[in-house]
Amino acid sequence: MHVAVHCVDFPDALERRLENYPAHRAHLAAGSVKTVISGPLLAPDGTTMIGSLFVFDASSVAEVEAFNRADPFNQANVWKEISIHPFSLRVDNRE
C-alpha cells in the first residue's frame, strides 16, 4: 500500500535539519519501507526548506508510523507537525 507523509518543520529547525540530513538520507535508504518519492517542502522563496513530503510503499500505516518515529529528523525535533495517511496513487506521470 502507498502511504503519504506530510511534515512541517518548527520555525527554528533549519539548522537541525541541515545537521541531520546525512543521517536522514541514510535512514530512508536503509529503511524497512520503500520510498516512492520524497523531498523538502519549500517556503515561497523557493529555496528555504520548511518541511518534508514522502510517499512510501509499505505493508501498513503502522509500519510507516514506526519508520517515521525513528527518522533522525523526528528524533532531532525538526518536524513540528506530522500527518500520515493511506494514499491512492491515481496519476503518475513520471517516466
Q: Is residue 62 part of a domain?
A: yes
Q: Is residue 52 part of a domain?
A: no
pLDDT in tens, 63-86: 999 999 999 999 999 999 999 999
Q: If you ran DSSP here, which 8-state letter would residue 15 be given?
A: H
pLDDT in tens, 23-53: 999 999 998 899 999 999 999 999 999 999 9
Full DSSP string of 18-60: HHHHHHHHHHHHH-SSEEEEEEEEE-TTSSSEEEEEEEEE-S-
Q: What is the CATH number of the domain that holds 66?
A: 3.30.70.1060
Q: Is residue 74 part of a domain?
A: yes
Distances (CA, A) of 56 to 3, 11, 13, 16, 88: 5, 26, 24, 24, 11
Helix, strand, coil percentages for the chain (3-state, nearest 5)? 30, 35, 30
Distance between CA atoms of residues 3 and 1, nearest Å: 7
Number of domains the chain contains: 1
Q: Is residue 2 part of a domain?
A: no
Q: Is residue 65 part of a domain?
A: yes
pLDDT given at position 95? 74
Global pTM reads 0.93
Structural domain range at position 18: 9-46+58-87
pLDDT given at position 94? 81
Q: Is residue 20 part of a domain?
A: yes
Q: Is residue 51 part of a domain?
A: no
